[in-house]
Amino acid sequence: MRPTHALVSLAALTTLSCAHGPGSPGKPATEDFAARGRALAQRLIIADGHVDVPYRLQETLGPDGEPTEDISQRTAGGDFDYPRAVEGGLDVPFMSIYIPAALQEKPGASKQLADSLIDMMEKIARKAPEKFAMASSVEEVQRNTQAGKVSFALGIENGSALEDSLANVAHFQRRGVRYITLTHSKDNLISDASFNSGKRTWNGISPFGRQVVAEMNRVGIMVDVAHLSDDAIRQVLEVSQVPVIASHSSCRHFTPGFERNISDELIRAVAAKGGVVMINFGSGFLTQEANVSLEKLHKAIEAFVESQRATNPGPPDVAGFIKSYRLEHTVTLARVEDVADHIEHVVKLVGIDHVGLGSDFDGVGPTLPTGLQDVSQYPNLFRVLLERGLSEADIEKIASGNVFRVWRQAAAHAASK
């Protein structure tokens, strides 16, 4: 997700410290869980369903049209780079080809941006072939991992990239896209959006949206129901012939009224279809307290930016505004333990086979929880899950096994046609 309110860098809002758990030198058992978590992160294949690196780099293009950040090296900003991915054991981030809803009003612009972001990721992989490789199948991921490379899988965030052409589904399949989030922050030609709080355009998905889902099934692209309205999710589940994913959605149980998260009813429905709910790490997705606190901050930022546009021609000093805001207001963030709570909630509802990781790194800006601030810190989450009694086999399913199963099912269904 690239939220419309993601206006600032992590450093501008806050500096968080890594949570190493409740252990101390006097508690060797906890230290053992931390060591096991680190070892497990290196041994398992970790697949993250949603990392917003492409648009992060798009926003930093230099005069030559190239990104000013080199993610093959350690970067000062952002949540992802190669050294930190290696440190945290991340093997396959689904790189989000994010299309802002505003482009929906400009015919052709959404597809053009999607193609350019895919071009960018392919070029990055070509420039550092010893570190990165593209991956369009689970088997390619496994080969890349064996060779010590981080795989770039691709997921389009906002089906507006398809424009109004069903043929573009096959186009993006050929380009390596393996999931499409049907909409984003506003209703589009395919589906209603959870964030679009006014009148629903389609009361679910459109007739064109039904065709899109069928075509995604036909060519082997996973259907992603993150960002969709509840009715749209229900209708996708009726139409799709294969399991679906929610690539970066947490549990509404913990944030009542926040439709962007997925309800218990719909978690059960996704699981009944064989699908996977991949937990978002953004603090506003994790606890009600953080959700309320961050919504206040986002509204204050939006009001500030709007007022500055009316009076000043230059870019607004959002970082300075946030510093002032934090002197007078407490900004509440979640903890790594809260991510574990969401994972456990899905497991208790529908079993271990239907939950995964969808961090939203580089997409939720400065709202990541203590202990999960970037891609180096998956071991912290594994530590907590081990402390809570999950087995290493359970964690392997969460880390990648479950989403790999759906990925393979989508490919197998397409191959059978």
- Region 311-316 average pLDDT: 80
- Region 141-170 average pLDDT: 98
- Region 18-47 average pLDDT: 72
Number of domains in the chain: 2
296: domain range?
A: 292-331
Tell me, yes or no, whether 305 lies in a domain: yes
Query: Which of 250, 243, 253 is CA-nearest to residue 227?
Result: 250
End-to-end CA separation in angstroms for the chain: 32
Same domain, 298 and 354: no
Same domain, 229 and 314: no
Tell me, yes or no, whether 8 lies in a domain: no
Q: What is the pLDDT of residue 31?
A: 62
User: Poorest-confidence range of 28-32, 193-197, 201-205, 351-355?
Assistant: 28-32
Same domain, 323 and 345: no
**What are 137's two structure tokens?**
């199948």
Tell me, yes or no, whether 282 lies in a domain: yes
Same domain, 283 and 297: no
Same domain, 215 and 278: yes
The Cα–Cα gap between 63 and 266 comes to 46
Same domain, 342 and 381: yes
Q: What are phi and psi of 360, to 5 degrees?
A: 70, 25
Tell me, yes or no, whether 5 lies in a domain: no
Q: What is the pLDDT of residue 314?
A: 77
The proportion of the chain whose per-residue pLDDT surpasses 90, expressed as a percent, equals 81
How confident is the model over 256-301, as pLDDT tens digits?
A: 999 999 999 999 999 999 999 999 999 999 999 999 999 998 899 8
Q: What is the pLDDT of residue 20?
A: 34
Q: What is the pLDDT of residue 17?
A: 31
How confident is the model over 35-49, as pLDDT tens digits?
A: 999 999 999 999 999
